Amino acid sequence: MNNQTEEIKKVSIIISRGSLDGVYPGLILSNGARMEGIEANLFFTFFGMDAIIDKRMDNLSIATVGNAAMRLPWGQKMPTWLGIIPGMASFATWMMKKEMEKLDVPPVREFLQMIKDAGAGIYACKLAMDMFHLERKDLWEGVDDILTVGDFYQKAAGGPIIFT
């Protein structure tokens, strides 16, 4: 058991996966941090960039192939081969969005805006921008800046870094 006496004042979260289940943990953690008065930075890199690319952020999905944790609606573990059935990813995405809606979890764009409005920093990775041939105009307007890894470490200094 950790007897942590030092209060967390800042957290930086790296989002590197672009699926719904890859993006939402970071959004939830950063939102929770801001609600607790903790400074939060979100750094999007590699396929996590899809969450801040304006034309992609509203269409994130669930990967059904290779997702060992995938369950059928009644709770049974889903056999991996079912993931290859046409429409399975769309169905899984629809189901997850429906469940999140029941819990009043906002869609990605709205959630990011809420997090930004709460004062969190939202940053894109310079290397990923270059690697995927992206320009600033491709990004959601709420992105604060495009950072190198070194710049990100400067922003993250003084707090833990969480990789989702």
Percentage, residues of the chain above pLDDT 90: 66
Are 30 and 117 contacting, i.e. CB atoms less than 8 angstroms apart?
Answer: no
pLDDT of 68 reads 66
Are 51 and 15 contacting, i.e. CB atoms less than 8 angstroms apart?
Answer: yes
Two structure tokens written together for 135: 């320009």
pLDDT(74) > 60 = yes
Between residues 127 and 71, the one the model is more confident about: 127
pLDDT of 66 reads 67
Q: Report the amino acid identity of residue 78.
A: M
Q: Can you give the pTM of this predicted structure?
A: 0.86
pLDDT of 150 reads 96
pLDDT in tens, 9-56: 999 999 999 998 899 999 999 999 999 999 999 999 999 999 999 999
pLDDT(1) > 70 = no
Q: Domain 12-58+107-164, what architecture?
A: 3-Layer(aba) Sandwich (3.40)
Give the residue extent of every domain in the chain. Answer: 12-58+107-164, 63-106
Q: DSSP per residue over 54-108, as a string?
A: TTTTT------TT-TT-B-TTSPBPPGGGGGSTTHHHHHHHHHHHHHHHTTPPPH
